[in-house]
Amino acid sequence: MSVCVVSALLSRSVRTATRWQILQILPSCYCTCALTSRFSQLRNVKSVLRTSSAGINTNSLPSRIQELITINEEPDVLYKKIEVLAKCHDKSVLDSYEYFVVLAAKELGISLVHVYEPKRKIERFTLLKSVHIFKKHRVQYEMRTHYRCFEVRVEHYIGKLDGLGK
């Protein structure tokens, strides 16, 4: 199966455009996946920029798309575990966010390995009530930043993506 242009655009080698911008610009006939084996790394991005069996040529792309394409010899990195750190000043907001993440992970079939709460950061500072006089009259403020960390394992999803490139 031949590999299409978008597989290189969606890799980490594109520095100047986001994936969302590229997917909005390109028609759906360009979109295929280019993973070949489990935990593989694309060694040569130039080999990914081949044309598909439909005869799509990279020179026939509009100039605005060609400006977004950057060729880089750096290999892609596949991750086994992703950690998402959420920060908030209100603990109840983090609780509702955790509820949403757990519910979404269950609905999508994603394994949520661990949800834990790192130590909160408390920042305190004291200010004078009056700028010029009454040195003894002060006000104390406190900002608490609560954290919640979500660990997601993505190993078994790489195996599902392997079949798409074959």
Instruction: List pLDDT tens digits, range 4-57.
Output: 444 444 444 444 444 445 445 544 444 433 333 333 344 433 344 443 334 445
Which of 78, 95, 111 represents a domain boundary (last residue)?
78
pLDDT tens digits for range 107-141: 888 888 899 999 999 999 999 999 888 989 999 99
Q: Are residues 93 and 59 in the same domain?
A: no
Give the separation between CA 163 and CA 166, rounded to whole angstroms: 5
Give the separation between CA 105 and CA 100, rounded to whole angstroms: 8
Q: Are residues 54 and 32 in the same domain?
A: yes
Which of 54, 78, 102 represents a domain boundary (last residue)?
78
Q: Which domain holds residue 49?
A: 5-78
Asked whether residue 106 is assigned to any structural domain, the reply reads yes
Three-state SS at 35: coil
Per-residue confidence (pLDDT) for residue 5, from 0 to 100: 43
Instruction: Provide the pLDDT confidence category of residue 64 given band limits of 50, 70 and 90.
Output: confident
Q: Are residues 41 and 14 in the same domain?
A: yes
Q: Are residues 139 and 154 in the same domain?
A: yes
Report the number of distinct structural domains present in the chain.
2
Question: What tokens does 33 get?
Answer: 């996946």
Q: Please tell me the pTM assigned to this model.
A: 0.47
Q: Are residues 29 and 100 in the same domain?
A: no
Instruction: Provide the pLDDT confidence category of residue 73 given band limits of 50, 70 and 90.
Output: confident
Per-residue confidence (pLDDT) for residue 97, from 0 to 100: 93
Per-residue confidence (pLDDT) for residue 72, from 0 to 100: 72
- pLDDT beyond 70 at 86: yes
Give the separation between CA 88 and CA 118, rounded to whole angstroms: 12
Q: Are residues 67 and 88 in the same domain?
A: no
Per-residue confidence (pLDDT) for residue 54, from 0 to 100: 41
Q: Are residues 28 and 90 in the same domain?
A: no
Which of 51, 78, 105 represents a domain boundary (last residue)?
78
Give the separation between CA 127 and CA 84, rounded to whole angstroms: 35
Q: Are residues 89 and 148 in the same domain?
A: yes
Three-state SS at 125: strand
Instruction: Provide the pLDDT confidence category of residue 94 given band limits of 50, 70 and 90.
Output: very high
Asked whether residue 74 is assigned to any structural domain, the reply reads yes
Asked whether residue 58 is assigned to any structural domain, the reply reads yes
Q: Are residues 85 and 59 in the same domain?
A: no
